[in-house]
A and B are shown apart, each in its own frame.
Chain A
C-alpha cells in the first residue's frame, strides 16, 4: 500500500509538478472562489465585477507600479546632479556639505501622493453630489487639508534635513580639525564612492569623511554585492 501510494504520488508529482496535496488545496480554493463568483453571476453584475477585478490588477501592476518606479528613478537622477553642480560653486570648498537629499524629498512626496491616491474623490471633489446628498456636507475643505498636510510633510522633512546637515557638518569639522590636511584629503577621496547617509555612523574600518558628493548609480561599491566586476 505504502509503496503503491508512493508510486502514485511520484507519478502525480511528475505529471503535475508538485505534491498531490498542492493540487487538492488549490482545487478547494478555486471551488470557494467559483462559488462566490456564481453568486455574482446570479445577481447579474458579473461583467462589471470581472472588469473591475482585471482593471485593479492591470492598473496596479502595469500602470501604477511603472509610473512610481519611473518617477523615483527620475528624482534619483535629478538630485545628485544638483549636488554635483553645487560642488563647483565659486567660493565653496571642493566638497558640498550635507547628506544626500533624496529621502528627504521622496518620502514627503510619497506620503502626499498616497493621501491623494486614497482620498482623491473627496480632495478633487469628484464625489461632491453623492457626498452632499448623504451627509449634507461639502467636499471643499478636503483639497485645502491635503495641501496643508503636504506642506507640513515638506516642512517637517526640511527641518529633519537641516538637523542632519548640521550634524554631518559638525562631524566633518571635528574630523578635519584633528588631522593633517593631506591625510584628510586622501581619506575623503577614498570614501567618495561610498553612498553617504544622514544616519551614517563612522565605523573604525571606514571612518566617515563627513560629507561627500553622492554617487548614486555606481553599482558594485558594496563589498557584499555580487555584481560582476
Chain B
C-alpha cells in the first residue's frame, strides 16, 4: 500500500516539468525512475483495478476546483424541475394531435404509451400556445444547464475500474438512456425548429420514442441519485456561495457519503485541484446568463406582438415581422398551388348524411362569424389573429349530420403528413371552430390557406388545415 502511494507520488513528479529536469540531470535519479516504472508495471499487471490507463482514466487529469457534489446537485435540482416541465409539455403536445382519432397518429405502434391520452379540449384556447411556447423556450434555456451538468460529472464516465459489480454495469447502461436520451432530444428538437431535417427518421416518431427512452433513464437516475443530491445540496449554502468571491473560492470538501459504494472509482471533486479562475457564483451566473440569452432571444416568437421584434433567433421571430408577413409553416408555393385550384373552379364538398357541393360565393353567403384565436405551431411560434368564416357546426347541419362524432378535413394539398386532419366531435361542435375566409379583415393570403382554412381553438397549427376543399362528417370515429 505504501509502495503504491510512493509510486503514485513519483508519477506526479514526472508530470512536473521542472522537477523532471532536475531528475534527468542525475543518472541515479534516472535509475530510480526506471526501477519505479518497472515496479509499477509489475504491480499494474497484478492489480489492474488500481492502475488506470493513461489519459482521462487517471483521476489526476481532472483538475477543476469547482467540480464537486454541491455544484452537480445545484445543477441537478434545476434540471429535475426543468426536465419534468419539458417532458410534461412535450407529452401534452403529443396529446394535442388527438392521435387516437383515425388518421391522426404520426407515430404508429405507440401501443401502451397511449395510456394517458384524452380527447384534446378546445378550451382554454391558449393552452396549446402556452404549452408549446414553454416547451421550445424552456428547452433552449435548459441547454446550457444540461451541458454544465454533463461537464460536472464527466470524470465519472472515466472512473476506473469501469465496472465493479453487476449493479454498476446495469446502472451505467441506464446512463446511456439518460445522457443519450437528453442529447438526442435536444438535438432533434433544436434542428427541427429550424427546419433542418438532416435526420434519417420522422421527427415525430424519433422525438416521441426518444423521449420515452429518456424518461426511463431519467426516472431511474432520479430514484437512485436523489439522496446524493440532497446530501450535496446540504453540504454548502447557496446564499453563502453567492457571496464568495474568487479569492475565497476553495474546492469542495470530500463528503462523508463519498464511499466506494456511492461513487465507485472516485467522486466528482478533483484529486489535485488547480487554483480557481472563476468563483462558483461566477460559474452559476454564466450558466444562468447563457440560459437567459438563449431563451430570451427566442421567446418573443411565442409571445407575439411587439415582443416578436426581440426574438433575434426565433425562426418566426424578428424575421416574421416583415411588412405584410404572417407566420406560416407551409407556403402555397411549396405545395404547388395554382390559380386553377383556387379560382372559379374551386368547390367545397361537404359529406355527411348527404353530399353538398358549394362554390366559394355560396359558402360566403352562409352566416359568417368572427373569432379572435391564436394559431400556434409545434415549432414554438404563435400568433393571435381575428378570423371570420362559417361555423363547422353549421356546415355539419348543411350536410345533414348536426351532431357528428368527428370530421375529416381535407386539403387541395396532395402530399405531406398534414394534408388532412381528423377533428373530434367536440372540436366540430365548438362555436369558435370556423372554416375561415378572412384573417385580420382581409381575404386569406394564399400562404394562409386561400380560399378557406379551418381554425380550431387550442388545436396544434397543423390541425388547422389550409386550402380546404373537402369535409367529411363522421358518424363514428
State which residues 360-379 of B face A: CB under 8 Å.
none
In angstroms, Cα B112 to Cα A22, docked, is 25
In angstroms, Cα B167 to Cα A115, docked, is 39
Residue of B nearest to A214 (CB): B277
- Residue of B216, B325, B329 near A30 (CB, 8 A) is B216
In angstroms, Cα B183 to Cα A90, docked, is 52
Given the interface contacts A110-B290, A195-B276, does A40 sit within 8 Å of B166 by beta carbon?
A: no
> Does A8 touch B at the CB level, under 8 Å?
no
Given the interface contacts A29-B174, A225-B251, does A110 sit within 8 Å of B286 by beta carbon?
A: yes
- Write out, one digit per residue, whether chain B residues 299-314 have a CB within 8 A of any chain A CB (1) or not (0): 0000000000000110
- Residue of B187, B223, B282, B293 near A25 (CB, 8 A) is B223
Chain B residues lying within 8 Å of A196, measured Cβ to Cβ, are 247
- Residue of A17, A47, A57, A226 near B167 (CB, 8 A) is A17
In angstroms, Cα B285 to Cα A198, docked, is 15
Contact assessment for B318 and A43 in the assembled complex, using a CB-CB cutoff below 8 Å: no
Contact assessment for B313 and A197 in the assembled complex, using a CB-CB cutoff below 8 Å: no
* Interface size counted on chain B using CB atoms at 8 A: 99
Contact assessment for B277 and A222 in the assembled complex, using a CB-CB cutoff below 8 Å: no
Chain A residues lying within 8 Å of B215, measured Cβ to Cβ, are 32
> Does A137 touch B at the CB level, under 8 Å?
yes
Given the interface contacts A57-B179, A195-B277, A201-B245, does A36 sit within 8 Å of B167 by beta carbon?
A: no
State which residues 210-266 of B face A: CB under 8 Å.
210, 212-213, 215-217, 219-220, 223-224, 245-248, 250-251, 261
Residue of B nearest to A202 (CB): B247
- Residue of B107, B111, B213, B315 near A37 (CB, 8 A) is B213
- Residue of A137, A200, A223 near B246 (CB, 8 A) is A200
Which one of A16, A36, A146, A198 has the greatest number of beta carbons of chain B within 10 Å? A36
> Does A136 touch B at the CB level, under 8 Å?
yes
Interface of B, helix, strand, loop or mixed by DSSP? helix
Contact assessment for A16 and B293 in the assembled complex, using a CB-CB cutoff below 8 Å: no
In angstroms, Cα B316 to Cα A221, docked, is 51
Given the interface contacts A33-B216, A49-B206, does A76 sit within 8 Å of B277 by beta carbon?
A: yes
Contact assessment for A127 and B196 in the assembled complex, using a CB-CB cutoff below 8 Å: yes
Distance from A5 Cβ to chain B, minimum over Cβ atoms (Å)? 19
Distance from A20 Cβ to chain B, minimum over Cβ atoms (Å)? 10
The interface-forming segment of B23-31, B267-275, B395-403 is: B267-275
> Does A56 touch B at the CB level, under 8 Å?
yes
> Does B328 touch A at the CB level, under 8 Å?
yes
Distance from B384 Cβ to chain A, minimum over Cβ atoms (Å)? 18
> Does B327 touch A at the CB level, under 8 Å?
yes
Chain B residues lying within 8 Å of A126, measured Cβ to Cβ, are 196
State which residues 108-156 of A face B: CB under 8 Å.
110-111, 114-115, 118-119, 121-122, 126-127, 130-131, 133-138, 141-142, 145-146, 149
Residue of B nearest to A41 (CB): B109
> Does A6 touch B at the CB level, under 8 Å?
no
> Does B44 touch A at the CB level, under 8 Å?
no
> Does B140 touch A at the CB level, under 8 Å?
yes
Given the interface contacts A36-B113, A126-B196, A141-B319, does A136 sit within 8 Å of B212 by beta carbon?
A: no
> Does B279 touch A at the CB level, under 8 Å?
yes
Distance from B458 Cβ to chain A, minimum over Cβ atoms (Å)? 22
Chain A residues lying within 8 Å of B202, measured Cβ to Cβ, are 43, 45
Contact assessment for B331 and A35 in the assembled complex, using a CB-CB cutoff below 8 Å: no
> Does B184 touch A at the CB level, under 8 Å?
yes
- Write out, one digit per residue, whether chain B residues 153-171 have a CB within 8 A of any chain A CB (1) or not (0): 0100100000011111011
Distance from A209 Cβ to chain B, minimum over Cβ atoms (Å)? 11
> Does B176 touch A at the CB level, under 8 Å?
yes
In angstroms, Cα B278 to Cα A115, docked, is 22
Chain A residues lying within 8 Å of B216, measured Cβ to Cβ, are 29-30, 32-33, 36
Given the interface contacts A136-B325, A224-B250, does A61 sit within 8 Å of B177 by beta carbon?
A: no
15 pairs across A/B with beta carbons < 8 Å?
A16-B167, A23-B167, A29-B174, A33-B212, A33-B216, A39-B205, A52-B201, A56-B183, A122-B315, A127-B194, A133-B331, A136-B333, A137-B320, A201-B247, A206-B247
Which residues in B have some Cβ–Cβ distance to A below 8 Å? Answer: 9, 12, 63, 65, 107-113, 140, 143-144, 147, 150-151, 154, 157, 164-168, 170-171, 173-174, 176-177, 179-181, 183-184, 187-188, 190-191, 194-197, 199-202, 205-206, 209-210, 212-213, 215-217, 219-220, 223-224, 245-248, 250-251, 261, 272-279, 282, 286, 289-290, 293-294, 297, 312-313, 315-316, 318-320, 322, 325, 327-331, 333-334, 447
A-B contacts besides A22-B167, A102-B277, A111-B290, 8 pairs, CB < 8 Å: A29-B220, A32-B215, A33-B213, A52-B200, A57-B180, A60-B150, A134-B328, A228-B272
Lowest 10 CB-CB distances: which A-B pairs, in order?
Answer: A17-B165, A197-B246, A48-B200, A36-B212, A121-B196, A18-B167, A56-B183, A17-B167, A127-B196, A224-B250
